[in-house]
Structure 1
């Protein structure tokens, strides 16, 4: 009987040692973000309450495309959260199907509709930056989400 216990203890010990070294081996395969990626490019910050206004609000969202389940889930959660807030009377979601010209037109349409805030998930930084600047010049608060 003690022979079986010793054998089980040896197997368990071997498994624990192997598991301990496994994490270190896998850590070498992890790609970290490059230095400077999260470094602010400006010292400008939005002041507290800078865009505060009483409801009702119309929120516009422009996404470059819907390419995976994570984005689908996130969009559904945005719609759900907006539906829970009585101050948000309209939640307008548009998707450009990964076409830059369509995303530009979508954002311009949202600006024409005079939404109270706009969230832009740009196809690329080259598309997103000018769209955000154009929206900001109209006085509409802009949130850029997931820029490349």
Structure 2
């Protein structure tokens, strides 16, 4: 092992990235292939650790692997204009805001469904009814399903509970 080179386990410990993810990042090209010992063990240097920390932080901020690859290329290009970096960040902000809106919609839907469920010993459950409803078109991926199918059934169940 060359001076300063560390094993994958030590790289994982120092960066907070699991050994499995380090191998995966290597396979996807986010991390250059590690140098290998004569016995085939991966060895990493400080530059690799710095890249792993960069990737981990970008993943913590929700960037896709493709966006991280673009950010890494920009990071490595010292002559880059910052406009490209800002554009990627603004696209991520917009995506996060869309996802927040979708998640809030899902939470509202589940809150309404949970409120309409008696939660007692009876088998009737509007939550399961909604999940099993086939007579409406599927909601677009990552969007809350409409509650239109619950309409009067929901009100009827609330009346039975005395609300």
- With the shorter chain as reference, the TM-score category is under 0.3
| Higher RCO (CA 8 Å, separation ≥ 6 residues) | 1
Which structure dedicates a bigger proportion of its chain to strand?
1
Which TM-score applies when normalising by structure 2? 0.24
Which structure dedicates a bigger proportion of its chain to helix?
2
